[in-house]
Structure 1
Amino acid sequence: MMRRLLPVSTAILLAISCMSSTASPEFDLSRLPSYQPQQQVSGSIRNFGFGLGGLLKDWEDGFRKFHPDIQFDDRLPTSDAAIPALVTGVTDLAPDGGEATLTETLSFFETYGHYPTDITVASGAYDVEGRSNGLVVYVSKDNPISKLTIEQLDGIFGAARTGGLRGFKWTLADGRDARKDIRTWGQLGLKGAWANKPIHTYGHAPSGTSRFFQWKVLENGDKWNPDYEEFVETGSKMIGDADRVKQHGGLQYMLSDRLAHDPYGIAWTVVPQASKVTGIKPIALAPRGGGSFVVPSRASFQSREYPLVRSIYIYLNRTPGQAVEPKLKEFLRYVLSREGQEAVVKNGNYLPLTAAVVSEQRKKLE
């Protein structure tokens, strides 16, 4: 049964969505543990992957104040190199701006017989372009819809499926039948002239961002609404010359030329792509399984109350039952400390973790 949709002030939604990060209050990190070394470490730590917009260097500089005999050997071309470097054994830590892919996880498992250990070290950005931004759902400003659940998003953007992936394992528990497809606005509670109008769906073409949407919304299924129109991220290296000439295919085109003029459309994207587009509004979302509807904002991204926030990771190869190497453990404990998360705030590319997430991640090191 669909939830009855309650009105939310569009003006408030737009004001919060367009809020500049410089206007947001400073984050309170007082509940995070201050870094206290468990032991002095020395030697070299190899990092292979992504430099996280300079944040990894900031962490290294801060860590050396406590452990001056530690050295870092960094090779930081791209997130795409992180897990492969871990698989081939040429790194100790693999900083990555996104989730491991199916083939990366499977490759690692086939090599070592266990999953890579993922440590969440920051939250993805709200409005800083190109920094693993969380996802926001938009509709035309003329559309009366204001709230949706993740289950409803699944019904809108997905299709009937027999199952979904958990890691690289297929599970029938994540399947659903066509009765949960949502194809008209009336199925979402809209009345009158809206009731029988078809829903037009828009979003990203295959990418790390779309994999995240499939994971969080489609339960790692790959069955999309047949109506779904995908667009390549504006300014990305995925846009070919022909598309550039035509100025067609970019997300800003999708939002400004399509969604803004389509009262029956709905799109998911990231705030930097939508921030300069008029005629659209963001939607508040409730998590899968129930909970409050949350408006997308920098604050709700940082608190992780908003259900489509992304994570930034450092992966390592830890054999189950074996201790984490002391120098790696100390470095990751520093990252997951008040000092480490203060560096996230100062760097400005990502959002700092909450005390609850820090506590959860530190337990993975024990």
Structure 2
Amino acid sequence: MSISCALSGISPAVRADAQATRAQASFDAGDLPAYESTGRVSGTIRNAGFGLGGVLKKWEDAFRKLHPDVQFDDKLPTSDYAIPALVTGSADLGPDGGEPSITETLSFFEVFGYHVTAVVVATGAYEVEGRSNGLIVYVNRDNPIRRLTLKQLDGIFGAERNGGLDGFKWMLGRERGREGDIRTWGQLGLKGEWTDAPIQTYGHAPSGTSRFFQLKVLGNSDKWNPNYREYVETGSKMIGSDDPGQRGGLQHMLADELAHDKFGIAWTVEPQARKVEGLRAVALAESEAGPYVAPSRQSFQNRSYPLARNIYIYLNRAPRKPVEPRLREFLRFILSREGQQILADDGNYLPLTSKLVREERAKLD
């Protein structure tokens, strides 16, 4: 019996857990570079930001076994502390579950005259709640659309714009005209009752998650489709004090609105959607050339899915200056076969591909 047949008769939640376990077991760190010390290092590394669900401490413990003269001084309340701590000089490394806001980017540049250095150390989660989950696009199960490009998502969720941000710079080259707006399902090739039916859009309210969507899909603009309806994660601290029933939560939107709106489309994260019946995920592609990839733990981890997220460690590195040896050595360990295997075994986040590991290690030279 095939695995897909074996899983066909069980609940979606159990099926997702089984598929996740199988994908995690299939991770092979063998093609990643093994850690090789470039010299003995010592001193204290000050980490400020987010503890990455405990995996940062595991990296530290493993690294100390190789470099016992290194100590760690951690202040890890939240990702929002990472770049401000670098700006004030109270940290050496800033572990962070997302991309910097414009105020973070600008404040660092105004203090130092150059940009913060970002090193990608992991891939965001697929199904683990609260771990910088990649984004998934859902439609009502009666909707025949099966695949979309990121440009089409921009047309659906975005609006005419005269530019977009690159860091804190306003780039006119990111403009697009009204002809790029997609407002009916017929514009996506659907026929019959769908031809003139308006597309109803749903998604996240302002947050690090929506900032990532704007960056990847909307040209880093904040011009949205005028009918865009915003929600926050159900059960999170973002639920308003005037909303005891959590009607502003994503699970309410998915279950009570999108599941009954065949002309609707939403983007969100798998932990918010996994218990909701009546939805179907859409395969996505970077461009019309494809490939169109369905969301799964495996497609997030191998980076074939275009809306997987990055997990970063930020540092203050002046242009043409070397990374301090103890920091470089610790980051090289994280970006090694041993460091990424710790990540895979931990299970909160997904390990990087061999290609991405090598690209990020090159930043340290």
Q: TM-score scaled by structure 2?
A: 0.94
1:65 aligns with 2:65: yes
The whole-number CA distance in structure 2 between the counterparts of 1:15 and 1:218 is 31
Q: What is the deviation of 1:26? A: 2.7
Alignment of structure 1 residues 344-359 onto 2, 5 Å: 344-359=343-358
% identity of equivalent residues: 64
In structure 1, what residue type is equivalent to 2:332?
R
SS of 2:40 mapped into structure 1 = coil
In 2, Cα distance between equivalents of 1:66 and 1:205: 44
Structure 1 gap ranges (5+): 1-10
**CA pair 166-18 structure 1, distance change in 2 beyond 3 A:** farther
CA offset digits 1:174-226 (Å, max 9, x no partner) = 11010110000000000111111110000000000000000000010110000
TM-align CA RMSD: 1.5
Q: Is the 8 A contact 2:47 2:92 kept in 1?
A: yes
Partner SS, residue 246 of structure 1? coil
Contact 1:234/1:252 (8 A) holds in 2: yes
- After superposition, the Cα gap between the structure-2 partners of 1:17 and 1:322, relative to the gap in structure 1 and judged at 3 Å, is farther
- Output the CA distance in 2 between the equivalents of 1:193 and 1:340: 53
Q: 2:16 aligns with which of 6, 14, 19?
A: 19
The corresponding residue for 1:4 is none
Go from structure 1 to structure 2 and tell me whether the alpha carbon gap of 1:360 and 1:106 turns closer, same or farther (over 3 Å shift).
same
User: Equivalents in 2 of 1:288, 1:37: separation in Å?
Assistant: 41
1:1-366 → structure 2 map (5 Å cutoff): 19-20=16-17, 21-24=20-23, 25-243=25-243, 245-288=244-287, 290-366=289-365
Are the counterparts in 1 of residues 13 and 274 from structure 2 also a CA contact under 8 Å? Answer: no
Cα pair 2:12 2:274 within 8 Å, conserved:
no
Partner Cα distance (1:321, 1:62) in 2 = 30
Q: Which residue of 1 aligns with 2:3?
A: none
Once the 2 structures are TM-superposed, how far is the Cα of residue 15 of structure 1 from its aligned partner?
A: 6.9
TM score, norm. by length of structure 1: 0.94
Query: Matches of 1:163 and 1:211 in 2, distance apart?
Result: 16
**Against the structure 1 CA distance between its residues 292 and 337, is the aligned structure 2 distance closer, same or farther, given a 3 Å change threshold?**
same
SS of 1:107's partner is helix
Contact 1:17 1:296 in 2 (8 A): no
For residue 80 of structure 1, give the secondary structure of its aligned residue in structure 2.
helix
Q: Secondary structure at the match of 1:241?
A: coil
Q: Alpha-carbon deviations, 1:124-166, whole Å to 9, x = none?
A: 0000000000000000000000000000000000000000011
* Contact 1:18–1:275, Cα closer than 8 Å, also in 2: no
Q: Deviation at 1:288?
A: 4.3
Number of aligned pairs?
353
Partners of 1:118 and 1:313 within 8 A in 2: yes
CA distance in 1, matches of 2:94, 2:241: 33
